[in-house]
Amino acid sequence: MTHKGFLAGIVVAGMAVTATTALAMGSGYGGPRHEINFDVLDKDGNGEVTREEMQMRGQDRFVQADSDGDGKLTRDEMMTAAQARMAERVGRMIERFDADGDGAVSMDEMPRPDEKRAARMFDVIDSDDSGGISKEEFAEMRDQMGKRRGHGFGKGSHRSNDD
């Protein structure tokens, strides 16, 4: 395998892992990562959602996660809430992709990444057309993705390019 082919394979594999994670997280990847139901938001049942009702959704989630009711979320409480949401998402993912109904998702049942799209993405990231992605090009791509998602993973943020 050539050096260029090896790097392309790494990028495609990385995108497949990212896509799989996004699928497990649900359709709101990069935004809200939970199902939002109009009827749940419309607390008073009057057929419209007010700003107060939208704000109550966050408060409800906080209260739900605050298992000891002390008005604070500990690391354990946050982890428990996150694990419950992830278990729900994984269940939906298995339900969606488990074509043979065996309760598991095989490699054949996983959605396939679009190879042409992956090649175009590789070419965009390889900004100097060297056939490989340098550490600098990778960092630039990561910073751009973080900015689009509002994470601000650039210099001076809480994450480094070595994470």
> How would residue 24 be classed by pLDDT, with cut points 50, 70 and 90?
very low
Three-class SS string for the chain? CCHHHHHHHHHHHHHHHHHHHHHHHCCCCCCCCCCCCHHHHCCCCCCCCCHHHHHHHHHHHHHHHCCCCCCCCCHHHHHHHHHHHHHHHHHHHHHHHCCCCCCCCCHHHCCCCCHHHHHHHHHHHCCCCCCCCCHHHHHHHHHHHHHHHCCCCCCCCCCCCCC
pLDDT digits (tens, 9 = 90+) for 52-95: 888 888 888 899 999 999 999 999 999 999 999 999 999 999 99
Q: What does the domain layout of the chain look like in residue ranges? A: 3-132
Mean pLDDT estimate for the chain: 77
Whether residue 99 has pLDDT greater than 90: yes
